[in-house]
Structure 1
Amino acid sequence: MARIRIGIIGLGNAVEPHAKSLLDLKDRVEVVAAASRSEERMKAFAGRFPFPVTTDIEGVLGASDVDAVWILTPPNSHLELVREAARGRKHVLLEKPLDISLDRAEAIVAGMRGAGLTLGVTLQHRFRPASLRLKALLDEGALGRIGAASCTVPWWRPQAYYDQPGRCTLARDGGGVLITQAIHTLDLFRSLVGDMTVTAATAATTPVHRMETEDFAAALVRLDNGAPGVIQATTAAFPGGEERIEIMGTLGTAWLAGGTLRAAFIDGREEIVVRHEGATGGGANVMDFPHDWHRSLIGDFLDAIKEGRDPVVSGAEALKSQQLIAAILDKAGWRTEG
């Protein structure tokens, strides 16, 4: 089967797990070019990965020998780059979030759908083995009816992280902890328990950081089945801990902590899935996690192109998670536009 020919746009921090995954998937993909407007980043990337490099982003987006593009640039650049990719008839795998505002995010999803092109978003936590097993348990009804659920992200970022130009500003990133860090766990949480309504929320910049946007947010939610839920996320919890999802059902309870799942059932059974015991990017080293989950997400995206279907994390799915974030901030009375 012919390999899918791809171009990479953006060679910052986000590119590393993608590049490692693409090397693993070399039998399925051919990287035609990796592009950055920064000569320094381009040269640094070329020193680490055996892919052709260029500073001609527009050339990659319009190239006739490129089937799909990976857009790994800052969020505020996504809409314009996706539109250009669509004009060039390219499928798109987009780094999270979709864009800095719901209006721009919705325009991306609608534009790609209207063009008949595949749009995927890099929300890789759905592809952790423990996450997949918990999803299967819920789909099988093994936990029974959900009675309550919670989601906690106790991460840490040092002030030096926020001192970088544009970091977690409204203009470049669209927000703070929710859209930049916790979106991964919130997306996974929503994929497991379904859609929800935000009933109360708070958000703040704690004294731990000097920054424009929130480094703490919490919400009370109501699941579609009427069950209550709690969401809490921060980057002020030194030294950073594992994100945690807890789902309490009529037949048992499941705890997902980082990459480890434990499920205890009322009939006495217990199940533990431990597939990853390392870091998950919750501390000062933001890229301290394996690339396995990216590889699985990319594999699904490639399958979606071949099969003419939506990927697991489609644009529409990512939009729902971004709408949840907007609802939390709106209920908290927090600024969501510059």
Structure 2
Amino acid sequence: MRKLGLAMIGLGPASQPHSKSLVDLSDRVNVHWAASRSSERVNAYGQQFPFRTTTDIQAAINDPAVEAVLVLTPPSSHLEVSQLCFAAGKHVLVEKPLELTLERGEHLVQAANMAGRHLGVVLQHRFRPASLRLRQALEAGELGTVQAAFLSVPWWRPQSYYDEPGRGTLARDGGGVLLTQAIHSLDLFRSLVGVSEVIAADVHTTELHHMETEDYVAALLRLGNGAPGTLMTTTAAYPGYPERIEIIGTNGFASLTGGALHLAFLDGAEEKVEAEGKTGSGASIMDFPHDAHRALITDFVDAITMNRQPLVSGDEALESQRLVAAVLAAGARSPKGAAARSVSGRQKL
């Protein structure tokens, strides 16, 4: 099988699970460049991984041996860096979130379509074994008709995390907990049960953090089939706990906690899928296995070689970003220290 030529742009913390995955996939890919404008990051990265490094991002993108680029830079640069890649005829796999705003995300997807290149997005929770089994159970009707669903992301980030330049700001991250941390679980939740409407939401910053954006979001939702849904996400739940998706069906109940799945059916049957590791819910943000990243990159490589859309395409990620925008539009962020308040502001999707 011919190896796909890759370059990786951005050597911050997000590059770690990707690089480990690319080492594992050495029989499928050739990583020609690992690039960052920061010579300090380039030097540190070169001591950990075997890939050739450079501070010349444009040269890495323009290399004829490079067919696809992993864009792992901050969200505020995704559109511009991806446009450089598309202009050079490269496919792009971009880190979450798609972009800072829904409008910029739409421009990014349009740019990929106009260039005729594949665009994938790193929303790897869809590739966990437990997530795949839950999707299979839903699609096969094993749980019956969905009656209600709940999403909870009780994570923790210390203030030192938000003290890093740009963290938790609109200019760099585009948002707070919903777009930056909970987007993985929100994307999985939406892809499993659908969301047709945001009925009400509260967007709030707790006293545990000093930051521009929100660290707590709650919402009432209408699922794809009209059933009720609820959402709660935060980075103020010390010391951090696994995210959870719960689904009530006419035939049984599903609980997906981190990477572990428990199916309980009304006929008494049960099934469990064990978790493959931690989830990054606490202060150590990269404390999770890279298996799901490896599976997502494998799917992206397959999509290019088979000329099909990646499972998490730009269009799919855009739908999740539309949901984020709808939740934020339905809520009003309370002043710091004020009591949480629900705001009725229905948002159709």
1:80 has 2:83 as partner: no
Q: Secondary structure of the equivalent of 2:182?
A: helix
Whole-Å Cα distance in 2 between the matches of residues 309 and 301 of structure 1? 9
Whole-Å Cα distance in 2 between the matches of residues 300 and 95 of structure 1? 15
Q: TM-score, normalised by structure 1?
A: 0.98
Matched-pair contact (CA < 8 Å) for 2:196–2:223: yes
Alpha-carbon displacement from aligned partner over 1:50-79 (angstroms, at most 9, x marks no partner): 000000001112222110000000000011
Alignment of 1:187-336 (within 5 A): 187-276=187-276, 278-334=277-333
Alignment of 1:112-131 (within 5 A): 112-131=112-131
Whole-Å Cα distance in 2 between the matches of residues 64 and 275 of structure 1? 41
CA RMSD of aligned residues (A): 0.9
Whole-Å Cα distance in 2 between the matches of residues 322 and 299 of structure 1? 24
The unaligned stretches of length 5 or more in structure 1 are none
Which amino acid letter does the alignment assign opposite residue 30 of structure 1?
N
Whole-Å Cα distance in 1 between the matches of residues 224 and 258 of structure 2? 25
CA shift at 1:268, angstroms?
A: 1.2
Give 2:5's aligned residue.
5
Alpha-carbon displacement from aligned partner over 1:56-108 (angstroms, at most 9, x marks no partner): 00111222211000000000001111111000000000000111011110000
Whole-Å Cα distance in 1 between the matches of residues 104 and 59 of structure 2? 24
Which amino acid letter does the alignment assign opposite residue 242 of structure 1?
P
Whole-Å Cα distance in 1 between the matches of residues 107 and 318 of structure 2? 10
CA shift at 1:334, angstroms?
A: 4.5
Q: Secondary structure of the equivalent of 1:198?
A: strand
Whole-Å Cα distance in 2 between the matches of residues 310 and 66 of structure 1? 19
Matched-pair contact (CA < 8 Å) for 2:205–2:333: no
1:59 has 2:67 as partner: no
Give 2:340's aligned residue.
none
Which segment is superposed worse, 11-20 or 195-204?
Answer: 195-204
Alpha-carbon displacement from aligned partner over 1:122-181 (angstroms, at most 9, x marks no partner): 000001100000000001000010000000000000000000000010001100000000
Structure 1 residue runs of 4+, over 4 Å off? none
Whole-Å Cα distance in 2 between the matches of residues 24 and 65 of structure 1? 20
Q: Secondary structure of the equivalent of 2:236?
A: coil
Aligned residues: 334
Whole-Å Cα distance in 1 between the matches of residues 198 and 187 of structure 2? 15
Q: Secondary structure of the equivalent of 1:147?
A: strand
The unaligned stretches of length 5 or more in structure 2 are 335-349
Alpha-carbon displacement from aligned partner over 1:25-48 (angstroms, at most 9, x marks no partner): 000000011000000100000000
Q: Secondary structure of the equivalent of 1:58?
A: helix
CA shift at 1:196, angstroms?
A: 2.6
Which amino acid letter does the alignment assign opposite residue 298 of structure 2?
G
Whole-Å Cα distance in 2 between the matches of residues 279 and 223 of structure 1? 28
Give 2:346's aligned residue.
none
Whole-Å Cα distance in 1 between the matches of residues 47 and 70 of structure 2? 20
Alignment of 1:74-113 (within 5 A): 74-113=74-113
Whole-Å Cα distance in 2 between the matches of residues 309 and 163 of structure 1? 41
Whole-Å Cα distance in 2 between the matches of residues 29 and 197 of structure 1? 41
Which amino acid letter does the alignment assign opposite residue 20 of structure 1?
K
Whole-Å Cα distance in 2 between the matches of residues 92 and 224 of structure 1? 30
Alpha-carbon displacement from aligned partner over 1:186-237 (angstroms, at most 9, x marks no partner): 0010111023310000011100100000000010000121100000000000
Which amino acid letter does the alignment assign opposite residue 302 of structure 1?
V
Which segment is superposed worse, 326-335 or 178-187?
Answer: 326-335
Which amino acid letter does the alignment assign opposite residue 190 of structure 1?
R
Give 2:173's aligned residue.
173
Whole-Å Cα distance in 1 between the matches of residues 78 and 333 of structure 2? 23
Whole-Å Cα distance in 2 between the matches of residues 284 and 224 of structure 1? 34
Q: Secondary structure of the equivalent of 1:218?
A: strand
Give 2:28's aligned residue.
28
CA shift at 1:6, angstroms?
A: 0.4
Matched-pair contact (CA < 8 Å) for 2:194–2:225: no
Which amino acid letter does the alignment assign opposite residue 253 of structure 1?
F
CA shift at 1:275, angstroms?
A: 3.7
Q: TM-score, normalised by structure 2?
A: 0.95
Which amino acid letter does the alignment assign opposite residue 160 of structure 2?
A
Alpha-carbon displacement from aligned partner over 1:306-335 (angstroms, at most 9, x marks no partner): 111111110000011111011000000359
Q: Secondary structure of the equivalent of 1:188?
A: helix
Which segment is superposed worse, 108-117 or 136-145?
Answer: 108-117
Give 2:158's aligned residue.
158
CA shift at 1:4, angstroms?
A: 0.3
